Structures are given as structure tokens and as C-alpha cells.
Homo-oligomer: A and B are copies of this chain.
């Protein structure tokens, strides 16, 4: 345990206050030439957030370290109060958890694609022409029926969206220190999975046998006649938010990965539906049952990744418009932020510090008339590592006792 973890655990006290963490995925952005050098957050019409900004503490947080661009896993772990360098979650496990798979200590999971191979096994399409989700389910059933275990290791297969699925290995002495079989380009055969240490040799054999056996089973099911494996990972050892912070947390999210991540830190999971209104209604109906409510809005990130300024703006505006549904319940602490920045000009995640505002009876505030990157630059919260956000949330909820006499 690092010093912050140790201290916060010592200071945590419980009370009835509740905390809402509203995350617009990839919210942060940079000024855009085509739109008068404004960011989507500046460009958007957001009367509700504007009003809130006037009585909130603003600032920015850094997901991992200065200049480091985080994936969704590290971004969210930081927001939940976990050092994302210390607690790394493999992509396979994240997917598995997001698919509601039952995960046991010692399991190793990989994210897989169905792919198209030519007669020599060379990959011609890494996504098997993005087959339908139904087709994927069908092929996964066939695989499950044909491959139940390999050398005493149970094989569990679960279909995802389109060409995606997860394979999980369950048994003794498994280890996730393995290379991917995905060559990340077409025109090559899948790579042999290599062990990265002695302990992983057996698991590598299982993975390679699984590839060969699966390939036999689906050989004639073109375009989904091959498969690629990535992100082998074991169940992470993460202390639960209940134990670290004395919180009773819930995740309100629609996308599998965020639900999966939340489960690893002990959250219950509720489906957020597809729109901000849906998510806030789910919040409204459940807010009395939890004292930490994480609400995840995906599309700000998606449109950032697409480089679509206008749709990112619209998503922010839709969140703002629906916000009164949430505000009506008067959460004791409301934090609005992102898990990282996804600037439209970059079309991807970035290292830019993430705007954040915290509203509570005791937050103090900053002269800001809007929630924007520029106002956050000047905010009273300053710039801090995301893993400290939970400190501020707990403090504003009066859930931290005084340190020292």
C-alpha cells in the first residue's frame, strides 16, 4: 500500500452522504480551428452545467502521469481512487468481466476476434468481415460444444459483439505472461503464443492447442474460419471500494468494458440504457440504495475518436439537458469529469489533463461561469493525479476524519 492508500483507509468514516461521479468518457479536448478555436465543451450550450459551475470547485486531473495517454482501464481506475500503474487490468479480463462472465481466482482470459484465413492459414481479414453478433454466437456455441477442456484446463467461450469473443482458461497453474497471437496486420499467419516466463509455458501450450483445435472446428465456416487472441490476462487483485473507502458503490453504464472494470473494484452494476436520460433515470430509481454512484456516458469518447466535433458537442448538450433528472435528487457530492481526453483533432485518447468540477455544500468555488477546459485551468482544485479525486470526493462528503491532533 502506498502512503495515500494507507492514510485514506485510516481516515475513512461512514455517514449517509452520497457521491455521484458522472463520467463523460473522453470529455477533455483541445481548441478546434474549424469551430472558432473552441473545444466541444466550450462550444456546447450547457445551461445546467453553467449554473453548477458557478457553485463548484474546478480543476484538472492527470490520469496516469504528465504526458501519458491512458486507455479506458487506467483512466477509470484512477477515477475510482486506484493508482493505475500499480493496478493494471489486462484487456482480456476487462472484456470477460464486461460480458458478465463468472471469474475465479487463477483464470486467464483473452480477447479474441474471428478472422478470415486463406487456404494456407494466412489472415486476409482480421475481423472476418465483421460478422453479425448472431453469427458469432452460433460459432461460439459450436466451439464450446467441441472444445470443453485441454490437458485438464477448462475452456470457456463467450461471444461478444460482431466478430469479438472471449476465451477463458480455468485450471491449476495458469499464468497470463503470454504474447498475443494477433499479428495486428493482414497477410500473416497467426503467431504462436509465447510464454514470457518459465511459469507461463504450460498456459502457452494450452493457448496454442486451443488455436489449433478451434481452427480445425471452424475451418469450413468462412469468413469466420480462423481466430486471433490478444491481451491474455489473469483476474487482477484489487481491493474493493467497500474495503478501502467504506463505500457501497454502483456502476450505471451501458458498455461492457466499464461494467467489467467497475466489478473489479466491487461495484454493483446497473444497465444505463442508451441515452443520458436513461442513465439518469436509472440513477434516480437507485440513488437511495448506494452511496457512490458512477454514471458512465460513452459517446463523448466515441465521437472524439471519430473526429466528429458536432456529435461530441451534441452528446455533451444531451447530457446537460438531461441533468435536471439527476439534480432533482440533490446528491451530496456531484463530480462531473472524464476519464481522459479524446480531442477531436487527434481522433484518439490523449494525455491532456481532464476537466473536472466538484459540487457540494462545502466545495468552495472559483468565479467560473461555465464548465470549460479554460476555467478548469484556473480552478481552485488545481491540477492533480486522478487517483486523488476520490480524496476530494470523500472529503466533500465529510467521509474523511481529521489527520493528527
Q: Residue A350 at the B interface, CB < 8 A?
A: yes
Q: Kindly state the separation between the CA atoms of A30 and B350 in the bound complex, as whole angstroms.
A: 33
**Given the complex, which residues of B lie within 8 Å of A395, measured CB to CB?**
67-69, 350-351
Q: Name 28 A/B residue pairs within 8 A (Cβ), A-sorted.
A: A3-B65, A7-B85, A31-B365, A65-B391, A66-B384, A66-B392, A67-B400, A68-B395, A68-B400, A68-B403, A69-B403, A70-B403, A70-B404, A71-B405, A72-B404, A72-B405, A88-B404, A343-B362, A343-B364, A345-B361, A345-B362, A349-B402, A350-B362, A351-B395, A352-B364, A364-B373, A377-B382, A383-B384
**A14 CB, min distance to chain B CBs, angstroms:** 16
Distance between A169 CB and nearest chain B CB, rounded to angstroms: 19
Q: Does A196 contact B (CB under 8 A)?
A: no
- The interface bits of chain A over 362-380 (1 if a CB of B lies within 8 angstroms of the residue's CB, else 0) are 1111110000011001111
- In the bound complex, what is the Cα–Cα distance between A91 and B405 (angstroms)? 6
A380 adjacent to B353 (CB under 8 Å): yes
Interface residues of A, CB < 8 Å — how many?
66
Note all chain B residues with C-beta closer than 8 A to A30: 362-365
Q: List which A323-375 residues lie within 8 A (CB) of chain B.
A: 343, 345-346, 348-353, 361-367, 373-374
Does A136 belong to the interface (CB within 8 Å)? no
15 more A-B residue pairs beyond the given contacts A67-B392, A84-B404, with a C-beta to C-beta distance below 8 A: A3-B85, A7-B85, A11-B68, A30-B363, A66-B388, A66-B392, A67-B400, A68-B403, A70-B403, A345-B362, A351-B395, A352-B364, A352-B380, A373-B380, A383-B383
A40 at the interface (CB under 8 A from B): no
**This chain's copy number in the assembly:** 2
Q: Does A394 belong to the interface (CB within 8 Å)?
A: yes
A132 at the interface (CB under 8 A from B): no
Q: Chain B contacts of A3 at CB under 8 A?
A: 65, 85
Chain B residue at minimal CB-CB distance from A349: B402
Q: Knowing A85-B3, A343-B362, A377-B379 touch, does A405 contact B90 (C-beta < 8 A)? A: yes
Nearest B residue to A70 by beta-carbon distance? B403
- Inter-subunit contact A366/B362 (CB<8 Å): no
Q: Which residues of B contact A403 (CB under 8 A)?
A: 64, 68-71, 74, 84
The answer to whether A173 has its CB under 8 Å from any CB of chain B is no
Central interface residue in A64, A71, A72, A404, by most chain B CB within 10 Å: A404
Q: How far is the CA of A65 from the CA of B402 in the complex (A)?
A: 12
Main secondary structure of the interface of A (DSSP, over half): loop
Question: Is A298 an interface residue when CB atoms closer than 8 A count as contact?
Answer: no
A9 to chain B, nearest CB (A): 12
- Which among A65, A73, A365, A403 has the highest number of chain B CB atoms within 10 Å? A403
A69 CB contacts on chain B under 8 angstroms? 395, 400-403
Which residue on B lies nearest to A86, using beta carbons? B3
Q: Does A94 contact B (CB under 8 A)?
A: yes
User: Whole-angstrom distance from the CB of A29 to the nearest CB of chain B?
Assistant: 8
Contact indicator A351/B388 (Cβ below 8 Å): no
B7 and A364 contact, CB distance less than 8 A: no
Chain B residues within 8 Å of A361, by CB: 345
Q: What residues of chain B lie closer than 8 Å to A74, measured between beta carbons?
A: 403-404
Q: Counting CB contacts under 8 A, is A231 at the interface?
A: yes
* Closest residue of B by beta carbon distance from A54: B37
Closest to A39 in B: B364
Alpha-carbon gap, A346 to B362, bound state (A) = 7
A60 part of interface (Cβ distance < 8 Å): yes
A86 vs chain B, min Cβ distance (A): 9
- B residues within 8 A CB of A68? 7-8, 11, 391, 395, 400, 403
